[in-house]
Amino acid sequence: MRLDTHHKVLALTAAFLFLSSFALAQGQPQQENQIHVEIVGLHNDKGQVICALFSSAADFPKKMEKAVARTTSVISKRHAVCDFPGVAPGTYAVAVIHDENSNGKMDTNFMSIPSEGVGASNDAKGRFGPPKFDAASFRFSGGHLALKITTSYL
């Protein structure tokens, strides 16, 4: 009798584990095309980070409102993360602003030089102006892509 009970317990445990793992797998969303951007080098935790995803050189990086996707992130311990879900395969570039005063735009001085931190994918830098799309662009073929951008302050 004891052996039968032991076998029943083992069978029930195995069935429970199988069904639990099946339910967990079914409850998880499928891998979607996502670009994950880690922003480092922030000078402080003030304000927010604005991230913009561009698919062409037109308006990059100055007109963030013209980007194909835009998101904001809170800052914690001088670090922020922006995610762009549902991105189609293609060529893209990311522009980042440390919007310290949370006014939703990049502030500049009288010479149009950014007075807040900025960054771009590939850590592209511009010479006498913003970086070029070609320097910041990358090919995204789908799945999950993780990028790291270091913020610069001029």
The pLDDT tens digits of the residues spanning 59-93 come to 999 999 999 999 999 999 999 999 999 999 999 99
**28, 72 Cβ separation under 8 angstroms:** no
At residue 33, the pLDDT reads: 96
Angle at CA of residue 151, ends 150 and 152, nearest 5°: 120
State the pLDDT at residue 9.
43
Q: For residue range 2-16, what is the model confidence (pLDDT) as tens digits?
A: 545 544 544 444 444
SS3 category, 116: coil
Angstrom CA distances, 21 to 14, 26, 108, stand at: 11, 9, 53
Residues 23 and 25: their CA atoms lie apart, in Å, by 5
Q: Which residue has the higher pLDDT, 27 or 78?
A: 78
Give the pLDDT of residue 17: 40
Q: What is the mean pLDDT of residues 35-58?
A: 98
Residue 31 pLDDT grade (very low, low, confident, very high; cuts 50, 70, 90) = low
For residues 136 and 93, the answer to whether their CB atoms sit within 8 Å is: yes
DSSP type of residue 118:
E
- Lowest average pLDDT, out of 37-41, 113-117, 120-124, 146-150, goes to 113-117
Q: Is pLDDT above 80 for 133?
A: yes
Q: What is the mean pLDDT of residues 26-43?
A: 81
Half-sphere exposure of 97 (CA within 13 A, CB side): 28
Q: What is the pLDDT of residue 152?
A: 96
pLDDT value for 138: 98
- Cβ of 6: how many Cβ atoms within 10 Å? 10
Cβ neighbourhood burial of 83 (10 Å; 0-12, 13-18, 19+): middle
Please report where in the chains the tokens 């409850």 appear, as a residue: 27
Whether the pTM exceeds 0.85: the reply is no
* Residues 91-128 pLDDT 10s: 999 999 999 999 999 999 998 889 999 999 999 998 88
